[in-house]
Chain A
Amino acid sequence: MRLIAERLGLERGGRRLFRDLGFALTGGEALAVTGSNGSGKTSLLRLIAGLLRPSEGRIELEGGPAERALGAAAHFVGHLDGVKAALTARENLEFMRALLGGQPGGSTALTTLGIEHLADLPAGMFSAGQKRRLALARLLIAPRPLWLLDEPLTSLDADGQAVFASLARAHLQRGGLIVAATHAPLGIDGARELKLGGGA
């Protein structure tokens, strides 16, 4: 499976964020997108997810699930967690599972992320780090080959960061792909780096 971007360019509100951007990522590889604030990291992730259309160039997933848009093969965990405050953690996760097409039945995602004891509490009572763990739990409940993560480590404690790193490594070993916008090291060995901005 390969994620290929060719001559990507994006213009938003009359401002050119990047142009002539190209990369190819094969299964089992991670790409860390770095760059200063406002250099277009989040926009690039949204563009790969199909939430934004590129102004020029193209992006595609070779050998992905047939006839599916790139977005349907991808998980997107943005800087917003996508967690409903009125629902419990379990209800939030069950909703995401149904929405994203995961298999029903006893998921261990909450245990893996270390928030099993909070499963029946409304997510509105969670701390920022606990919400982030809940958001990351949806990576596990519906298998999708491409993970698009925007600052995945934000508000996670050291334990949470270690859990995330082990999840990411396991995903890469299964042949998955990860594109993560980040300022901090992800804890994934051999992640390639794509630097945005800087006169691009």
Chain B
Amino acid sequence: MSEMKLSCEAKRQVEEICEKFHNDPGELISILHGCQNALGYLPESVQRIIAEHLGIPAQKVYGVVTFYSFFSMTPKGKVPISVCLGTACYVRGGDKVLEEFKRVLGIEVGETTPDGKFSLDCLRCVGACGLAPVATVGDKVYGRLNPSDIRRIITEYDD
């Protein structure tokens, strides 16, 4: 995993988010949410800044980041894609939808396309089981998916 040097601007953002939550260790998860929303991911350098501000070991921060699948240590694409593999989606072919996303984008789960545009993840249930199988692309939710829909969905995001 390549560790990018954190810009001064990004460092300032992280510190602001920590201060917004009064550097309270009890707010670690909220702070991580804030930082991931602001930066798109939580690299080691960000976790170290958070640990320092909250006065807790970096190991604790890392433990929480790796526990929740929502948090990521690799940069997300401009358009993050999450394919649901919860029970309902899985039995209705979520795994085949995921395979098709992998094939079309040429990346594995957890990776980002070389142009930085798309990243692919899977998750367990977005609470839309009635629409199974479901994937979220950017802010949009796509339901009742068929593998044959995938290429069309990707082209929607052509510049």
Tell me if chain B binds chain A: no
